Amino acid sequence: MEISVKGFIYHKSAEGFADCFDRLGVNKKANKFAVSDGVSKSFFPDVWAELLIEFFLQNEGRINLTDTESYKSIQKEWVKRVGEIVNRPNQKYFVRNFFLQGRPAAATFVGLHFFKENNNFKWEAIALGDSFLFYVPEDLKNITADFEKVVYLSSKKDLKFNNFPDFFDSRSVIHKGKIKQKRNDLKGGTFYLMTDALAEWFISEKQEAIDIISEWNTQADFEESITKLRKINLYNDDAAILVIPIKEDNIPEITYKDFIITNFNELLELEKIEKQKSENQNVEVKNTENNSPDQPVIEEKKIDNISKDIIEIKDNKKNEQSQTSDVSDEETKNKNENRKREKGKLGFWEKLVHPFFQYPFWIYREIDERNINNELSTTLEEDKKNIKDTTDDTEKIESKEKHSASTEEKENEKIINRKKRKRIRSGEKENKKDSPTPPDEDISSITDKF
């Protein structure tokens, strides 16, 4: 018997292989083939589907449905692997809660085994759920007309698909549904093992589906074809398929001619590498956009020249500011010197007059009034500059103004008293009124005395 094998797998559109729950596998030494579909609503179904295939392929003996002990060992391995994932750092809390609550995984399965019995080649298969096995005899040219001659295996009672398939349970020995099994002589023809989306499409399209499958020779062909079919009549779900053509060559051994199997782990690694590359490219693009948004890239020499020009402009501005500051300093010095000279002159004449006249009252009064007026004007100006419309400051100004008014009154009183003293000395009689005489009054009596 000459056997060829082609196997491909693809994820849902808008997802990746990391989100794919379908699995497939082949063991040429044991002549075993398997496809499994993890139920997406269950807990870590991809790990469970992978373990079911591993267990089936590694066991070189015949299929034994009553071997519950071996099945329990698969369940223990699932608990171990999922426990390692759940206990990883930064794992989400609800994932740990689901694991502690005993959430199970579920997966459909179909397995095929070739073996020799009494010098005759046989095949046997088991299935649970809506993963299907189809066998198309070599002499059947058009399955659309003779679909009843196609051998198929599944635990489904009819060919209608839904979201509640039978499955193997990762925690309970009792499964959902009843495992189906078939066996027959191995003859020329083709076996198709596939998950539910492809099985539904195969049953619907029949011969046209076989013609399309015959063109799948690489993983790229498979992905391209699946993408096109999803736009027409293929349900958007994970897809896995094994195509196994059998030719009778009258040789008492099973030989493998063509063997094209997609390695799912390699697909995962390639996807991770591509994802990392795209993330790095996005980071680089963002960095370039942040550094020079909507501007052409400038050469290093041009940047150096621009920076030098900026530095020169800054230096010129500093020099100008320093020059203006020097000029202003000179002006202020000159003003201060002039003020000192004026003060010095005034001080000199005051000193000159003092020893001879000892400050007569008229000089004293003028100097005193001038000093008082200057002091009042300077204090008022300073206060007006520092005050900013506050009630406290206005009270200060009012108090100062009252003080200035009181000082003026005192000076007036002093002047009046001096005049009175003069009159007393000169023998003049004191008038009853201190105020000056009105202009219409006769002042001849006063002038006659002089």
Q: For 378-437, how does the pLDDT look when each residue is reduced to its tens digit (9 = 90+)? A: 655 665 565 555 555 555 555 655 565 566 666 777 777 776 676 666 654 444 444 444
Type and span of the H or E element at 351? helix 300-357
- Burial 311-326, CB ≥16 within 10 A → b, else e: eeeeeeeeeeeeeeee
DSSP state of 263: -
* Residue ending a domain, choose from 260, 284, 308: 284
If asked whether residues 72 and 205 sit together in one domain, one would say yes
Give domain status of residue 130, yes or no. yes
User: What residues form DSSP beta bridges with 121?
Assistant: 116
Counting the structural domains of the chain, the total is 2
If asked whether residues 256 and 150 sit together in one domain, one would say yes
If asked whether residues 389 and 240 sit together in one domain, one would say no
Q: DSSP string of 288-329?
A: HHHHSTTSPPPPHHHHHHHHHHHHHHHHHHHHHHHHHHHHHH
Structure tokens of 2?
A: 């000459």
Return the CATH number at 210.
3.60.40.10
Residue 211 main-chain phi, psi, to 5 deg: -65, -40
Determine the 3-state secondary structure of 337 from DSSP: helix
Residue span of the structural domain in which 424 resides: 338-428
Give domain status of residue 321, yes or no. no
Determine the 3-state secondary structure of 119 from DSSP: coil
If asked whether residues 219 and 130 sit together in one domain, one would say yes
Contact yes or no for 127/154 (Cβ under 8 A): yes
Type and span of the H or E element at 446? helix 444-448
If asked whether residues 280 and 378 sit together in one domain, one would say no
The model's pLDDT over 336-366, given as tens digits with 9 standing for 90+, comes to 566 555 544 444 444 444 444 444 444 444 4
The model's pLDDT over 217-275, given as tens digits with 9 standing for 90+, comes to 999 999 999 999 999 999 999 999 999 999 988 888 899 999 999 999 999 999 999 88
Give domain status of residue 306, yes or no. no
Give domain status of residue 434, yes or no. no
Determine the 3-state secondary structure of 168 from DSSP: strand
pLDDT value of residue 60:
78
Give domain status of residue 23, yes or no. yes
pLDDT value of residue 112:
96
If asked whether residues 247 and 359 sit together in one domain, one would say no
Q: pTM of the prediction?
A: 0.64
* Residue ending a domain, choose from 247, 263, 284: 284
pLDDT value of residue 185:
94
If asked whether residues 272 and 352 sit together in one domain, one would say no
Residue 183 main-chain phi, psi, to 5 deg: -150, 150
If asked whether residues 168 and 71 sit together in one domain, one would say yes
pLDDT value of residue 64:
77
Give domain status of residue 290, yes or no. no
pLDDT value of residue 363:
43
Determine the 3-state secondary structure of 427 from DSSP: coil
Residue type, 326: D
Give domain status of residue 308, yes or no. no
Give domain status of residue 291, yes or no. no
